[in-house]
Amino acid sequence: MIIHFYKFQGTGNDFVMIDNRNSDFPKENTSLVASLCHRHFGIGADGLILLENDEKYDFRMIYYNSDGKESTMCGNGGRCIVAFAKLLKIINNKTIFIAIDGEHYAEINNENQVKLQMKDVDVIRKEESYTFLDTGSPHHVQLAENVNNMDVKSEGASIRYGQLYKDKGGANVNFVTPLGNEKFAVRTYERGVEDETYSCGTGATAVAIAMYHQEKTKERDVHLQTLGGDLRVSFDVENGVYTNVFLIGQATFVFEGKVEM
């Protein structure tokens, strides 16, 4: 089987992108997806994304983690599929598409900066040592004295598989260090990848909202420093409900090719 693919990355969060408008890709073959994402025996990626037709929207996004399993929303993947759709000439500079967590509006400029609208957030669990919220994917947000000195993989895994989330399918884990009133350093352990990633879009979104909710910032336009680059998250908030949530950053085409599997 020969598969035509494209590779995109958003602040170092990288994806195998496949145009599946003809429905040729064997979507239930989790081992194939995992093989394509494998960094030594495949193309290599944090996840795989299918772009498909949809009657009501410009396109549909189907996202798989690198373990081969279909997963919840991926913010950086959402930004990358917008850039992919523009490359395929499906859209121009604006789009509304559908993903597993509902519809998303997005804009892309000529420098491939994508402004992606995320889901509203109206439930936030604030505990003494962490905050939990769902921004399309479930996220644990925890302050750290210096994220640069952390073993994110081991500490993230201990929380992801620990008592808090073991009966809930796990959670993504974000460690955060304030860098100023509106800027935070973030490192993220992603479930499904089961490792630290260079960046996580739903994680950055969760951190921005959690930091505002915890009164660590008064800004509603928050800058996030990740290993793979900088992201912005803007939002409105009223009566504890976060709306008009936008994840903003570059989405970059890396290369395309064909692979025989």
Question: Mind spelling out the 3-state secondary structure of 69-115?
Answer: CECCCCHHHHHHHHHHHHHCCCCCCEEEEEECCEEEEEEECCCCEEE
201 is in an annotated binding site: yes
30 is in an annotated binding site: no
Catalytic status, residue 37:
no
170 is in an annotated binding site: no
Three-class DSSP category at 164: coil
Catalytic status, residue 200:
yes
Strands (E), 118-212: 124-126, 131-134, 138-143, 172-178, 183-190, 195-197
188 is in an annotated binding site: no
Other Cβ atoms less than 10 A from the Cβ of 142: the count is 18
Alpha-carbon separation of residue 255 from 10, 28, 84, 94, 188 (angstroms): 14, 25, 11, 23, 26
92 is in an annotated binding site: no
Catalytic residue among 108, 200, 231, 233: 200
Catalytic residue among 16, 50, 74, 91: 74
202 is in an annotated binding site: yes
13 is in an annotated binding site: yes
Over the range 150-161, which residues count as b (16 or more CB within 10 Å of their CB) and which as e? bebeebbbebbe
260 is in an annotated binding site: no
To the nearest 5 percent, what fractions of the chain are helix, strand and coil? 20, 45, 40
112 is in an annotated binding site: no
By C-alpha distance, which of 232, 185, 186 is closest to 75? 232
Residues annotated within a binding site for substrate: 13, 65, 75-76, 172, 190-191, 201-202
Residues annotated in the binding site, as ranges? 13, 65, 75-76, 172, 190-191, 201-202
Catalytic residue list = 74, 200
